[in-house]
C-alpha cells in the first residue's frame, strides 16, 4: 500500500471511530488495527492522535471548500436580516452547522423563529427523496449529512429549530416546511439511531405549516421496509397530516410474516401513540388504526380490508385477517 493511500485510510478509519465512539474513547492502537497496520507503522504517518484529528479537520475543510461558496440566513422581516454566513474560504462545514445551531439558541420572545437558509455551491447535491423543493436549505443538509461528525450537531440544530407554527420563509405554500425539516430527513435516512428524532419531528408537524413529510415517509419505508423499529415512524406520520397516502410499493413491502407481525405488535400497543387522556378511548384508537391501515393499503383497506385479504398469499391470509379484525 502506498504511503499516501495508508495516510488516507488512517484518516477515514479514524473519522469513523471518532464519530461513533468519540475522540477520547479511541486509541491509536485501535485506529491502526482498523486500518490493518501496527501502531508503530501508524506513527510513520502521524505523530499522535491529535495530529490525526487535525488532519481530519483539514481534509473536511478542503473537501467542503470544493462543495460550497456561500450560506446565509434571513429572518422573517427583511429589515432585520441577519447575514450569519458570507463568503466561505477555508472554513469547514462543521463550522457552518455550528453557526446555524448557535443562531437557533436565541430564546428571546421577539427573536424570529421563521427564517430562510440560503446555500449555493457548484455541485448540486440533494437528498434521495423525490419531490422535495431544490432549495439551498435542502442542499445544505444533503451535503452536511455526508460528514458523520456533523450528525450530532445536525440533530441539536433540528431539535432547537423544530417549532410548531413556524416555517422556512423561502419555500412555497405547497412545499412549506418547519425549520429543521431537511436536517431531520437527512438523518432519518441514515439509520435507526435517528428515528426517535424523526418521530419527535412528526409529532410537531401539522398540515398547515409542513407538507413534505409524506414524501419522506414514502422514501423511508422503501429503504427500510416495515419492521418493528421502523413502523413507529408510520404511526407518528399518520398523525402529522390528514389522509397520508400510501406509496404503491407498500403492499409488496408489507407482504411478509415479519412485517405483519410487527404491525400486529403496533396494534396491540396503539394507546402508546395517543395522548394520555385519549389512550383508553376506543373511538380514538379505532380512528388511528384506520389511518395506519390507509397509509399502507389506501382504499383497499376499506370494508374491513376485504380486497386485501382476498388477494393475500395463502400462507399469510390468517395474519391479514388479524390485521383487519
**pLDDT tens-place string over residues 116-159:** 666 665 567 899 999 999 888 888 888 888 888 788 878 878 88
**pLDDT tens-place string over residues 22-81:** 677 889 999 999 999 999 999 999 999 888 887 876 665 455 444 444 444 444 433 333
* Ranges of each domain in the chain: 3-61, 68-220, 225-325
Helix (H) or strand (E) holding 196: helix 195-204
Q: Rounded to whole angstroms, how far apart are CA atoms 127 and 190?
A: 11
Q: Rounded to whole angstroms, how far apart are CA atoms 226 and 260?
A: 8
Q: C-alpha grid cell for residue 178?
A: 418547519
Q: Domain 3-61's class?
A: mainly alpha
- % of the chain surpassing 90 pLDDT: 47
How much is the average pLDDT of 69-98? 43
Taking alpha carbons only, the member of 305, 226, 300 closest to residue 266 is 226
Between residues 61 and 4, the one the model is more confident about? 4
**pLDDT tens-place string over residues 278-309:** 767 889 999 999 999 999 999 999 999 999 99
pLDDT at 104 (0 to 100): 55
- Residue with the three cell numbers 478509519: 13
Q: Rounded to whole angstroms, how far apart are CA atoms 133 and 126?
A: 9
How much is the average pLDDT of 96-103? 57
Does position 208 have pLDDT exceeding 80, yes or no?
no
Res. 172 pLDDT band, cuts 50 70 90: confident
Give the other-Cβ count within 10 Å of 33's Cβ: 14
**pLDDT tens-place string over residues 220-273:** 999 999 999 999 999 999 999 888 999 999 999 999 999 999 999 999 999 999
pLDDT at 232 (0 to 100): 97
Total length of the chain = 325
Helix (H) or strand (E) holding 115: strand 115-120
Taking alpha carbons only, the member of 34, 8, 7, 6 closest to residue 20 is 34
Q: Rounded to whole angstroms, how far apart are CA atoms 234 and 249?
A: 15
Give the list of residues 6+ apart from residue 4 with CB closer than 8 angstroms, or none: none
Res. 90 pLDDT band, cuts 50 70 90: very low
Mean pLDDT for the chain overall: 81
Q: Rounded to whole angstroms, how far apart are CA atoms 168 and 177?
A: 6
DSSP string, 276-320: GGGTT-HHHHHHHHHHHHHHHHGGGGSGGGHHHHHTS-GGGHHHH
Amino acid at each position: 500500500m502506498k504511503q499516501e493511500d495508508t495516510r488516507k485510510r488512517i484518516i477515514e478509519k479514524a473519522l469513523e471511530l471518532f464519530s461513533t465512539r468519540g475522540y477520547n474513547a479511541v486509541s491509536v492502537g485501535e485506529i491502526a488495527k482498523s486500518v490493518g497496520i501496527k501502531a508503530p507503522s501508524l506513527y510513520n504517518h502521524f505523530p499522535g492522535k491529535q495530529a490525526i484529528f487535525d488532519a481530519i479537520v483539514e481534509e473536511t475543510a478542503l473537501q467542503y471548500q470544493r462543495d460550497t461558496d456561500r450560506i446565509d440566513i434571513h429572518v422573517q422581516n427583511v429589515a432585520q436580516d441577519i447575514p450569519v454566513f458570507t463568503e466561505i474560504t477555508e472554513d469547514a462545514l462543521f463550522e457552518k452547522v455550528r453557526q446555524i445551531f448557535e443562531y437557533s439558541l436565541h430564546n428571546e420572545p421577539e427573536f424570529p423563529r421563521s427564517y430562510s437558509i440560503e446555500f449555493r455551491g457548484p455541485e448540486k447535491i440533494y437528498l434521495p427523496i423525490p419531490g422535495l423543493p431544490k432549495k439551498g436549505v435542502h442542499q445544505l443538509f444533503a451535503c452536511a449529512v455526508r460528514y458523520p461528525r456533523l450528525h450530532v450537531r445536525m440533530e441539536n440544530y433540528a431539535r432547537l429549530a423544530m417549532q410548531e407554527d413556524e416555517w422556512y420563509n423561502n419555500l412555497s405554500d405547497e412545499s412549506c416546511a418547519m425549520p429543521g425539516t431537511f436536517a431531520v430527513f437527512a438523518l432519518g435516512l441514515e439509520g435507526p439511531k435517528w428515528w426517535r428524532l424523526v418521530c419527535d419531528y412528526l409529532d410537531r408537524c401539522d398540515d398547515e405549516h409542513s407538507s413534505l413529510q409524506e414524501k419522506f415517509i414514502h422514501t423511508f419505508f422503501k429503504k427500510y421496509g416495515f419492521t418493528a423499529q421502523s413502523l413507529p415512524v408510520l404511526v407518528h406520520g399518520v398523525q402529522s397530516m390528514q389522509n397520508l397516502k400510501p406509496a404503491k410499493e407498500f403492499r409488496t413491502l408489507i407482504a411478509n410474516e415479519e412485517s405483519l407481525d410487527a404491525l400486529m405488535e403496533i396494534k396491540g400497543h396503539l394507546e402508546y401513540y395517543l395522548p394520555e387522556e385519549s389512550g383508553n378511548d376506543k373511538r380514538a384508537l379505532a380512528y388511528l388504526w384506520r389511518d395506519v391501515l390507509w397509509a399502507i393499503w389506501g382504499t383497499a383497506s376499506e370494508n374491513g380490508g376485504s380486497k386485501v385479504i382476498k388477494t393475500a398469499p395463502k400462507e399469510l391470509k390468517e395474519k391479514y385477517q388479524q390485521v383487519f379484525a
